[in-house]
Amino acid sequence: MKLTQGFRMAFKSVLSNKLRTSLSMLGILIGVATVIALVAMGKGSSNQVEEQVSSLGTNLLSITITGRGTETSLSKDEAMAFADLPNVEGVSPVVSSSLSVKYKTTSTNVTVEGITPEYEDVNDFSVQTGRYIVPIDESNSQKVALIGVSTAEELFGTDDPLGKVILLNGYRFTIVGLLEAKGSSLSGSNDEKVLIPLSTAQRLFKSVGVRTVYVKVTQLDLMNTVVAMLEAKLTEKFRGDTSSYRVFNQQDAMETLNSVNKTMNTMLLYVAAISLIVGGIGIMNIMLVSVTERTREIGIRKSLGAKRRDILFQFLVEAVTISGLGGLLGIGIGYIASIVIGRVMGTHTEVPFNTVMIAFAFSAVVGVVFGIFPANKAARLRPVDALRHD
């Protein structure tokens, strides 16, 4: 039997039982679609993590003082002294608290951060209109504020916030700048906050010292070197008590979160692989039923000269055709699912081409593996026994 003839006969047989074919390929379809959707979801999660960490700056270190009281905090001068270390581009000490901000009859709770002028460059967070905090604001403890876009919209609607006076815990502050839209990061929303001078914040919060310091490193590959120098300085400051501080590396955070995402996605892919195997078992079951139903047809073909390999090839092609069609439909549905997932997650999802090829190849292999047994059973039938079958 010619190869093309075998394919035509197999396709004709598959298309003659459309409902049965559809049901048998359903397991493969779901498995392949799940694989593609999960990979897209994994890539979307990774992209989201990278965007959030990148918004903080991958060459940015954050120092958090975890102790309590003045003896386990840094002064502003001590924090700014980190700028003298080699490979440090800038330093930004910060104090923060959650306060009530009010404008006329509208009020909300936001994160209020006390900053220095260096915050703009170190944290890469500028204003879109107005001006930034300047040294004179810091030295004179001026009651001026920068406001995030979400907080500005909540308090003022579409009105220009510049020059407006807001109340922070009852104290009047004049808005001098509207911050650029920054989105969310690992620490929360960057658009729902108010920034004020560091010295003003310390008075407002009734706090002494600094418990958060951002350090910008000149080059990404020097992060570990700078971390070691910072830890040495902090260990000396807190007399060997390493529990009094924590140095946080944004790049390490991104790698850790991506590792967690990869582990979770791998586990989910195992589940998808199981569904492909279940789909293969379904194909084998359908093909065994098909062999039983077509016993007389097999006997007639063998009596007319069809060889064992011809029968084996025909039923094997039918199994591969069913699984292959299921794989193709699964790829299409998987792509649609990836688009939906991207819109729901609010991030860009992508499906690597090699993943599509692997999923399709796996679906074809499933057809071969689970089609061999029923195809071999059909090929082994003796013509006399097959013709006697009722």
Mean predicted lDDT score pLDDT of the chain: 80
Q: Is residue 122 located within the same domain as residue 165?
A: yes
pLDDT per residue as tens digits for the range 153-194: 999 988 999 999 999 988 999 999 999 988 766 556 788 899
pLDDT for the residue numbered 382: 65
pLDDT per residue as tens digits for the range 288-347: 777 666 666 666 766 666 677 777 777 777 777 778 888 888 888 888 888 887 787 676
Residue type, 162: L
Tell which phi-psi region holds residue 111, choosing left (phi > 0), alpha (psi between -120 and 50) or beta: beta
227 lies in some domain? no
pLDDT for the residue numbered 184: 64
Q: Is residue 315 located within the same domain as residue 360?
A: yes
Q: Is residue 70 located within the same domain as residue 34?
A: no
185 lies in some domain? yes
Of 92-101, 223-232, 308-317, which gets the smallest average pLDDT? 308-317
Among the candidates 218, 241, 268, a domain finishes at 218
Four-CA torsion 337, 343, 347, 350, nearest 10 degrees: 30
Of 84-88, 176-180, 204-208, 256-260, which gets the smallest average pLDDT? 256-260
Instruction: Specify the residue for token string 């692997």.
Output: 358
Kindly state the percentage of the chain with pLDDT values over 90.
25
69 vs 242 pLDDT, higher one:
242
Q: Is residue 139 located within the same domain as residue 104?
A: yes
Q: Is residue 91 located within the same domain as residue 189?
A: yes
Is residue 53 scored above 60 in pLDDT? Answer: no
Indicate the pLDDT class of residue 365, thresholds 50, 70 and 90: confident
With a CB cutoff of 8 Å and minimum separation 6, the contacts of 248 are: 61, 62, 63, 64
Q: Are strands 88-103 and 212-217 parallel, antiparallel or unpaired?
A: antiparallel
With a CB cutoff of 8 Å and minimum separation 6, the contacts of 140 are: none
Among the candidates 194, 218, 242, a domain finishes at 218
Q: Is residue 365 located within the same domain as residue 306?
A: yes
pLDDT for the residue numbered 302: 67
Locate 24 and state its tokens: 């048998």
* Domain interval for residue 135: 60-218
350 lies in some domain? yes
SS3 134: coil
Is residue 223 scored above 80 in pLDDT? Answer: yes
Q: DSSP label at 74?
A: B
Among the candidates 169, 199, 218, a domain finishes at 218
Q: Alpha helix (H) ranges present in the chain? A: 3-16, 18-56, 76-80, 119-122, 135-139, 149-156, 198-205, 223-237, 250-293, 295-303, 308-345, 353-380, 383-388
375 lies in some domain? yes
Q: Is residue 65 located within the same domain as residue 203?
A: yes
pLDDT per residue as tens digits for the range 28-39: 788 788 878 877
CB 123 within 8 Å of CB 169:
no
Q: Which of 61-65, 103-107, 144-148 has the highest average model confidence (pLDDT)?
A: 144-148
87 lies in some domain? yes
Strand partners, 298: none
118 vs 123 pLDDT, higher one:
118
Q: Is residue 172 located within the same domain as residue 272?
A: no
pLDDT per residue as tens digits for the range 56-89: 556 888 888 886 555 667 889 999 999 999 999 9
With a CB cutoff of 8 Å and minimum separation 6, the contacts of 288 are: 373, 374, 377
Q: Is residue 170 located within the same domain as residue 38?
A: no
Q: Is residue 210 located within the same domain as residue 298?
A: no
pLDDT for the residue numbered 219: 83
Strand partners, 129: 178
231 lies in some domain? no
- Domains of the chain: total: 2
250 lies in some domain? no
Q: Is residue 338 located within the same domain as residue 206?
A: no
Tell which phi-psi region holds residue 209, choosing left (phi > 0), alpha (psi between -120 and 50) or beta: left
With a CB cutoff of 8 Å and minimum separation 6, the contacts of 131 are: 176, 177
pLDDT for the residue numbered 36: 82
247 lies in some domain? no
pLDDT for the residue numbered 166: 94
pLDDT for the residue numbered 188: 64
pTM: 0.59
pLDDT for the residue numbered 135: 93
Q: Is residue 184 located within the same domain as residue 64?
A: yes
pLDDT for the residue numbered 94: 94
